[in-house]
Amino acid sequence: MIFSSLKTNISIGFFIAFILFLAAFIPFLKFEEDSISKEIQSKHKAISDYAHFYRLNPYELEEYILSLNFKKVEDVRRVLDGKKTAFSTAGYESFRFEDKLYFHIRTPHFRILFEDSNKYEKNIYPYVMFIMVFFLLMFIYLWILKALKPLSILKKEIKQFANGEYETSSKSDGKDEIAQVVNEFNNMAKKTSLLLNSRQLFLRTIMHELKTPIAKGRIVSELIDDEKQKNRMVNIFENLDSLVNDFSRIEKVVSQNYKLNTNTYELKKVLDKAFNFMMIDENDERILLNIDRNIRLKVDLDLMAMVLKNLCDNALKYSSDKKVQIHIKEKSILFISNGNRLEKNLEEYFKPFHNSTENKNHGMGLGLYIVKSILDLHKMSISHKFDNNKNVFEITFN
């Protein structure tokens, strides 16, 4: 099993270390128990051997054993019925009952039961070492988790940064490498935020300044006497104003700061808006439409119209006959144009500024980049194929 979390891996590692440490300590506990049992057995055997060697009578034996910190038991039957024998020989037996140690003298002529009141102390140093090592491992474990805590904060900050929240508070006072990484990210985020704010201010200033001459041009156009020329100029300035608004919208889309304003529209309405952006109408002889007018899409009208406009523009610009066919196929819309095969893989055209600036007939290479960004927002996809000397771009709907 693979664990992706560093914290989880460390916790599992320390857990295994604790288990192994306990497993190593258990044999010592067994050894300690055996050592105490041998000590008791040796002491009781020495008493029994002494009694046999000097042939002590019951009275003498009792006096001797009582002098060795033993107590005579009066309720013999109760203790013997519940005994748990530890070890025994022909002359005596030692056992425990209710957490007390007993010494039972057995001879052919008499029996005497004593409670052993002696203290058989365990060696405390191994236990002290065990506790010290245990707390040392716990301290190291908690210290490592504390050292890794900035990484959790950094992960959260990076996720917020990726979602467009550039204000961070991930500064660390530590001196280790993790703290340095956190602080460098914090510095990078601040610089990025400053650059983005500067870019937005710059773009907004430019678009604001463009609005003024466009508005003046729109007003002056109303003074033209020729109605046809006046309508043409008004339409041009209105489209220029619309383009400035589109630039603002595109800037938000590519910086992933745009919130979709989706609604359900007929595909025909989306296409009409796209043609309006291009300053043409659907009856233009360069546009060959083959669509079902009942098809409806849930999209952001302005953005989707921009997608269709860019694909139409590209088809007209690069086709050999300056025409484009627009077809509907199940849950997709196709833009078909005669022309040469694409020089690069489609993914290359989704990158901004992919065109060479030396080629004056081409744009700056933002068309398909904008298309892909908008379709990603709509969770739609675009594909391309070259068939019978025709380039076919296909947008697949949800």
Buried b (16+ CB within 10 A) or exposed e, 296-330: ebebbbbbbbbbbbbbbbbbbebbeeebbbbeeee
pLDDT in single tens digits along all 398 residues of the chain:
445 577 788 888 888 888 888 888 787 777 777 788 888 888 888 888 888 888 888 888 889 989 999 999 988 888 888 777 666 776 788 888 888 888 888 877 788 889 988 887 777 777 788 888 888 888 988 888 887 777 777 777 777 776 666 666 666 666 667 777 777 777 777 777 777 677 666 776 777 677 778 888 878 888 888 888 888 888 788 777 767 766 766 666 666 666 788 899 988 889 888 888 787 776 788 888 887 667 888 998 988 988 998 899 888 888 888 899 998 877 889 999 998 888 888 888 887 655 544 444 444 456 788 888 888 888 899 999 998 899 999 999 87
CB 392 within 8 A of CB 329: no
Q: How far from 303 is each of 245, 364, 374, CA to CA, in Å?
A: 11, 20, 7
Question: What pLDDT is stored for residue 256 in this prediction?
Answer: 63
Q: Is 148 helix (H, G, I), strand (E, B) or coil?
A: helix
Domain 259-396: give its CATH architecture. 2-Layer Sandwich (3.30)
Domain residue spans of the chain: 6-122, 259-396
> Chain-centre distance of CA 233, in angstroms?
55
- Count of CB atoms situated within 10 Å of the CB of 273: 19
Distance CA 76, CA 102 (A): 11
What is the reported pTM?
0.48
